[in-house]
């Protein structure tokens, strides 16, 4: 089976990490995630991330580096995460989310992350804390 990749962004701005609360589907609603979505066939993952962040949050972001690792979501779907820098715009929950929070490195445990996002969030928090 072909494996589809979901890309998500650990979006940094002024020393904080962006968290997004899912509004759908019902089984995921209310949990927090790093925003992102599925890579389209033939699309570069970094381009997919830029597109998803534009669609979901109305911002322009620049992917910086991949957080090592990959996390299974369900059969045939894996999550890969990039850090990204906010280039322009103020994120708004336009699609898929109903709340956003900017978290300082010592606040990243304050929201109920989707379990599959937790390892990347932990690494992103370490990177932020290290400056």
In the complex, the smallest distance separating the C-beta of residue 87 from ligand C5P, rounded to whole angstroms, is: 20
Closest to ligand C5P by CB, 26 vs 131, is 26
- Nearest CA to 31 out of 97, 84, 92, 80 is that of 97
List CB contacts of 13: < 8 A, sequence separation 6 or more: 85, 86, 102
Distance, CA of 2 to CA of 118 (rounded, Å): 25
Query: Are the beta carbons of 52 and 36 closer than 8 angstroms?
Result: yes
User: Residue from 5, 104, 111, 114 that binds ligand C5P (CB under 6 A)?
Assistant: 114
In the complex, the smallest distance separating the C-beta of residue 96 from ligand C5P, rounded to whole angstroms, is: 5
Query: Are the beta carbons of 15 and 104 closer than 8 angstroms?
Result: yes
Site mask, ligand C5P, residues 2-41, x = CB under 6 A?
A: ----x-x-------------------x----xx-xxx---
Site mask, ligand C5P, residues 50-89, x = CB under 6 A?
A: -----------------------x-----x----------
């Amino acid at each position: 089976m072909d494996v589809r990749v979901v890309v998500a962004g650990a979006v940094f701005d002024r020393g904080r990490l962006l968290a997004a609360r899912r509004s759908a589907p019902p089984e995921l609603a209310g949990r927090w995630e790093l925003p992102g979505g599925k890579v389209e066939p033939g699309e570069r993952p970094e381009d997919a991330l830029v597109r998803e962040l534009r669609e979901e949050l109305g911002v322009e972001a620049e992917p910086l580096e991949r957080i090592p690792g990959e996390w299974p979501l369900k059969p045939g779907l894996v999550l890969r995460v990039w850090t990204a820098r906010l280039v322009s715009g103020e994120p708004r929950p336009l699609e898929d989310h109903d709340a956003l929070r900017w978290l300082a490195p010592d606040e990243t445990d304050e929201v109920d992350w989707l379990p599959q996002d937790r390892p990347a969030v932990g690494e992103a928090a370490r990177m932020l804390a290290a400056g």
